[in-house]
Chains A and B, each alone.
Chain A
Amino acid sequence: MAAGGAGGNSGGKTYSFKVVLLGEGYKLIIPPLPLQASFLTKKLNITGKRVNLAIWDTAGQERFHALGPIYYRDSNGAILVYDITDEDSFQKVKNWVKELRKMLGNEICLCIVGNKIDLDKDRHVSVEEAESYAESVGAKHYHTSAKLNKGIEELFLDLCKRMMETAQAEERLKGNGASQSASSRRGVQIVDDEPQATPAGGCCSSG
């Protein structure tokens, strides 16, 4: 990974986030990679904080719907894409939102994405309806066009910021990370950069 940057620790924390892509529509917005497009990691720098983003593609066919929980377990964010010319795809997004809120509560940042805004003349899902729905479930709505490469960069940057806020709020809630509970272990991993006043042998307080 970023072996070069290992020495220079300018301070701050490194966040690791897992984002799942659910439903069938998202295939439209992620440009396929030359080798494989089902898993990718991105290293971002957002307001001076390092973020490792892992994006998980999931099988979207209806018969694999029941496997959803295995995929979105422990994820920090979910991207749900619908086609603005297809009312049915918006309905599917609603189903996913219901399921995610039920299973993961408010810890997961939801992005509802209306894709194909280049085809606005064929729009079947109104902007007002989609945005008000997103607001009602605590999600954020985005407009994108994969064809014109519009809005996708913003979507990921915004999602990262929101996930960082969620992680920081959780951190504050837990105190200063002195005693992280077991439940947080598989969640966000926060790496402290501040050198604590411990000599080399400081990690040996066994017994």
Chain B
Amino acid sequence: MMSQRRGIHLDQSELLCKKGCGFYGNTAWQGLCSKCWREENQRERQKQIQEDWALAERLQREEEEAYASRHQKAQSQPTITPLNKFEERKTKEKSSKVNTVTKFFIPSTKTPPKKDAVPFDTQSSPSPSSSSSRHSSVDSDHATREFIDFLKPLKSGREIFKQCRAFTESMVYKRDMGADELSECVQDFYQNLSERLQTQFKGSTDHVESVMDEVEKYMMTRLYKEVFCPETTDDEKKDLAIQKRIRALHWVTIEMLCVPVDEEIPEVSDSVVKAITDVIEMDSKRVPKDKLACITRCSKHIFNAIKVSKKEAASADDFLPTLIYIVLKANPPRLQSNIQYITRFCNPSRLMTGEDGYYFTNLCCAVAFIEKLDGQSLNLSSEEFELYMSGQASPHWPQATGASSCSPGNTALNQVHKRLDLLTGLGERQERVMEKARQLESDLIDWTDEVEQKVQSVLESYPPETQNPTATTASGTTSTASSAIDSDNIENELLPPPLQPQVFAG
């Protein structure tokens, strides 16, 4: 009755514990019964606690060494630190691919315990899903180390680090929260921290910003897996929708969008390709700032392409259509997820007034335009638009639409003719190749026949000396023949014994 009402049928055996102990299992315990789950979980937990300890000890040592060396340096030659900092930043910029690990720190022995927000017990208690990401901790360690290195020369570096660490760890427990709430948490943290830094650095905005950049980098590297395209949102659905939409719009031409770019010029087409590469590359970055940098690079290439084509500086009137064109050509992976991620977790000041923010906003506009695009916005009638969208006609195929798209149609037609010529040429060549192949095949057959005949004639002229022509017909005779062979062996006993293998000391 129950199963009927819900429209699904469940076999009783599916409800039992997967270990086969006869008790009922529970999906919350991965299909195990409470007893089996406890045993299973205990083992895993024990293992993870040990791993945690090892890792934490290692990092703790490193952290302490780092601070110790910093103090030495500061005492002996204080002028060397800014140089170090510069170099560290340079190396940091190169390595941005880092993995997330949930937590691996324990409070340092030097630190009074009250300062640490998260007690060790909660840190080491594992959650099943986090164990998989644990293995990629090496990269995440790298990010942590860089962050520590960056903070070293700062007066309150240690405090900043501890706060970020505690906050990042606390975020892991909030993964069931909605994406907007997570964003709210992170943004509040950014704001609070930057306010305090501003007090500390006495209003040196640039300094605060550089620290906030590193904070963002450290935190988002570690949280990326948890907060990028989280399951609580429909980001993934939107990704697929826009991807499908862009694919359906493959027929949109430069002319329809009024893009002032002439791809015949090599430098322009080069810039276009670079812009496409950059916007696709965005998805491979983890830190919002790095993603934004990709968009900015893409935009600069677009500006260059427009400038070379038009021979004058580009305005937003030229830029936006070109960006739309680039997005249509690139169809960047996980576009919506990336936009959402940047919006939620980027440093707000950069997004609001910075140059990166301006280009990002234009990208958002391009996506919004593509989503809502209709015939009118491409100067097409709605019938034409529908025809193109349904794939029944294409602007590259002037027969279908007549004179509506004349100039692009003509070039397309030329190309079609050229390709058709090429195809006929290829067809003829293939014909020739096939003929030769057939020739070769018959030659081969002839040759095998010839060889066979030769062998036959040789066999006939020199028949093999089979002592017993009846041997093949009667089984009885074969057995006698074999016994005869055996008896022959008796004579062999006169031969010397076979050589024995000898061991040489080598």
Q: Show the binding face of A for B, using Cβ within 8 Å.
A: 1-3, 6-7, 9, 14, 16-18, 24, 27, 32-39, 41, 52, 54, 56-61, 63-64, 66-67, 70-71, 74, 180, 182, 185-186, 189, 191-193, 195-196, 198, 200-204, 206-207
Contacts and interface: CB of A to CB of B under 8 A. Distances in A.
B365 A191 contact: no
A52 to B, nearest CB: 7
A206 B159 CA distance: 9
B205 A191 contact: yes
B103 to A, nearest CB: 16
Interface in B93-114: 114
B354 A64 contact: no
10 contacts: A9-B204, A41-B355, A57-B316, A61-B258, A71-B365, A182-B184, A186-B348, A195-B202, A196-B199, A203-B159
B365 A52 contact: no
A35 B193 CA distance: 36
B156 A204 contact: yes
Contacts of B163: 203-204, 206
A198 B162 contact: no
Interface residues of B, number: 56
B159 A16 contact: no
A9 B198 CA distance: 12
B316 A70 contact: no
Contacts of B159: 201, 203-204
Contacts of B376: 63
B353 A207 contact: no
A39 B355 contact: yes
Please provide the 5 A-B residue pairs with the shortest distance between their CB atoms, ordered closest to farther.
A203-B196, A59-B320, A204-B159, A57-B316, A193-B203
Contact of A59 (B202, B204, B206, B365): B365
B160 interface: yes
B200 A200 contact: yes
Nearest to A196: B199
B165 to A, nearest CB: 10
Contacts, number: 145
A196 B315 CA distance: 44
Contact of A206 (B117, B191, B368): B117
B254 to A, nearest CB: 15
B381 interface: no
Contacts of B187: 182, 185
A35 B313 contact: yes
Interface string B360-375: 0100110011001000
Chief secondary structure at chain B's binding surface = helix
B202 A9 contact: yes
B238 interface: no
Contacts of B486: none
B320 A18 contact: no
Nearest to B348: A186
Contacts of A66: 368, 372
A45 B145 CA distance: 40
B191 A204 contact: no
A46 to B, nearest CB: 17
B377 A63 contact: yes
Contacts of A71: 361, 365
Nearest to B374: A63
Contacts of B204: 6-7, 9
A64 B348 contact: no
Contact of A6 (B206, B314, B372): B206
Contact of A56 (B162, B199, B358): B358
A201 B38 CA distance: 44
Contacts of A16: 349, 352-353
Given A56-B361, A71-B365, 16 more contacts: A6-B204, A17-B353, A32-B315, A38-B314, A52-B353, A59-B316, A59-B321, A60-B316, A64-B369, A67-B320, A192-B199, A195-B199, A198-B200, A200-B155, A206-B117, A207-B116
B62 interface: no
Contacts of B37: none
B55 interface: no
B245 interface: no
B166 interface: yes
Contacts of A57: 315-316
A32 B318 CA distance: 13
Contacts of A192: 198-199, 203
A186 to B, nearest CB: 5
Nearest to A34: B313
Given A63-B377, A70-B361, A193 B353 contact: no
Interface string B280-316: 0000000000000000000000010001000011111
Nearest to B367: A70
